[in-house]
Amino acid sequence: MQNIKSYIDEHKQRFIDELIDLLKIPSISADSAYKKDVLNTADAIKVSLEKAGCDKVEICPTDGYPIVYGEKIIDINLPTVLVYGHYDVQPPDPLDLWNSPPFEPVIQNTDKHPEGAIFARGACDDKGQMYMHVKALEYMTNNNELPCNVKFMIEGEEEVGSANLGKFVAANREKLENDVILISDTGMIAKNVPSITTGLRGLSYVEVEVTGPNRDLHSGLYGGAVANPINVLTKMIASLHDENNHITIPGFYDKVENLSDEERAEMAKAPFSLDNYKKALDIDAVYGEEGYTTNERNSIRPTLDVNGIWGGYTGEGAKTVIASKAFAKISMRLVPNQDWEEITQLFKTHFESIAPDAVKVKVTPHHGGQGYVTPIDSTGYQAASKAYEETFGKTPIPQRSGGSIPIVSLFEQELKSKTILMGFGLDSDAIHSPNEHFGVWNYLKGIETIPWFYKYFTELKSAE
């Protein structure tokens, strides 16, 4: 791996240009208006994997968007690394908050990224982080330093719940057989504080609809006499948290794992400044479940957040109307041991039970996934830790993330292998937000670190 630094220096402009080309395609899986762009992105991924050295690349159709599969098998007796990533992106709205168009990438310097950052939807989540693996493979093949077999599985439905990935994995166990799964779709604490994500939260995403009268009504003639679906929806949603911001759904916490004081003390060692956190978000106070720190609230504790709400007249000016319907999109982040389908059912049963007779309620489950924890004594974790030591000069910190990559627990169940989450983005990279970006330094550092993982994983695995 000695030439990796010089190889990157030599090719970094091309690495950046290739990523920028990929970021120009608006592969928004949540909005069917972009179907063609999502499909074109899959084609682009196929070509890039072939160029990077895969022997066999195929676009595998699903009931939704296709999965791009690629592999380079050098010796069936050697270990195999399966790389997972996704080529779809979140919707970019609200568009007016972007400083530059989300699909016209620009490089700007920021305080956190003095070497420049690429601003575009998907720059970090996940096109940028996924493409590091493609370029790492290019390095290893071009320099005959690939120490083991590699397989790629890049999907196009991660941002909408990976509805078809499970079926694909179950139907292709042999093809996907591997010794470890490697994913870069998480973050690191700071550029000088490398970290490996060892825990992920699960997710249950639902949409609710409250119907009152069969048509919009004049709020003067009917106001006060009929249930206003918006007023009722606010009451129902408000009741889902008690005065301590504890979720009130019966049974919701039954399977939540409670960390020991030792584990919580260990977590608390991660560098964190509440003042900087508040300053970065321009808030006067944090807000959350009584009895837990900010870092615990967004990692080891489950949540219930309204992601969208709408109803009635939302246009310019005033309209004195009582809407017939009100809607909300609600997601719950879950912790290991909480089963997302069980939680979804608990939500549905409870939400329907708290509706007054004067309205009708419909709860539509959207998608979800289980939480996950990676043991730090696993071969994969050890190999990743040594790789960071090579390129960052320090041992990475194991970190629980509040995010969800639902398919990770699915992989373990179907493929019986552990997943290692090597993330190179920063929390401040604004993924899912306007002005998402990915540091050029982080991008290149990822490309530099990944080959070392292959080296150490192969060595440790052979020594087992």
CB of 60 to a copy of itself, least distance (A): 22
The span from the CA of 324 to the CA of 434, in Å, is: 32
**Shortest distance (Å) from residue 132 CB to a copy of itself:** 20
Q: Which of residues 344-373 bind a copy of itself (CB under 8 A)?
A: 356-359, 366-367
Distances (CA, A) of 47 to 4, 21, 155, 333, 428: 23, 13, 15, 36, 31
* Cβ proximity to a copy of itself, 3 vs 100, nearer residue: 100
Report, in Å, the least distance between residue 97 CB and a copy of itself. Answer: 7
DSSP for 156-200?
S-GGGT-TTHHHHHHHTTTTT--SEEEE--SB-SBTTB-EEEEEE
d(CA 432, CA 171): 31
| Residues in 206-225 that interact with a copy of itself by CB under 8 A | 212-225
Task: Tell me the closest approach of the beta carbon of residue 399 to a copy of itself, in angstroms.
Answer: 11
Nearer to a copy of itself, 74 or 259 (CB): 259
Hey, what amino acid is at 279?
Answer: K
Note whether 25 and 44 are within 8 A (CB). Answer: yes
Structure tokens at 320: 């004195």
The verdict on 333 binding a copy of itself (CB under 8 A) reads yes
According to CB under 8 A, which one of 162, 298, 385, 449 is a site residue for a copy of itself?
298
For residue 396, what are the CA distances in angstroms to 191, 267, 386? 11, 13, 9
Judged by CB, which is closer to a copy of itself: 178, or 404?
Answer: 404
Residue 397 within binding range of a copy of itself, rule CB under 8 A: no
Does residue 276 bind a copy of itself (CB under 8 A)? no
Binding region for a copy of itself (CB under 8 A) out of 17-25, 62-70, 188-196, 317-325: 317-325
320 lines the binding site for a copy of itself (CB under 8 A):
yes
Of 53 and 402, which CB lies nearer to a copy of itself in the complex structure? 402
Position 226 contacts a copy of itself (CB under 8 A): yes
Any residues with CB less than 8 A from the CB of 255 and at least 6 apart, and which? 337, 338, 339
CA-CA distances (angstroms) from residue 103 to 91, 118, 119?
11, 11, 9
Residue 10 Cβ vs a copy of itself, minimum distance, rounded to whole Å: 35
Beta carbon of residue 120, minimum distance to a copy of itself (angstroms, whole number): 16
Q: Which residues inside 151-180 make contact with a copy of itself, applying CB under 8 A?
A: 159-161
**Phi then psi dihedrals of residue 197, to 5 deg:** -75, 120
C-beta of 236 vs 444, nearer to a copy of itself: 236
Report whether 163 contacts 410 (CB < 8 A).
no
Q: Which of 123, 182, 196, 230 forms a contact with a copy of itself (CB under 8 A)?
A: 230
Q: Identify which of residues 155 and 179 has a Cβ nearer to a copy of itself in the complex.
A: 155
Site for a copy of itself in 28-67 (CB under 8 A): 29-32
Taking the complex as a whole, the smallest distance from the CB of residue 134 to a copy of itself amounts, in Å, to: 24
Q: Site residues for a copy of itself, window 97-156 (CB under 8 A)?
A: 97
Q: Cβ closer to a copy of itself: 317 or 393?
A: 317
- Residue 203 has, within 13 A of its CA and on its CB side, a CA count of 24
List Cβ neighbours of 18 (8 Å cut-off, separation of 6 or more): 48, 131, 135
Q: Which of 7, 15, 205, 340 binds a copy of itself (CB under 8 A)?
A: 205
Phi, psi dihedrals of residue 183, rounded to the nearest 5°? -135, 135
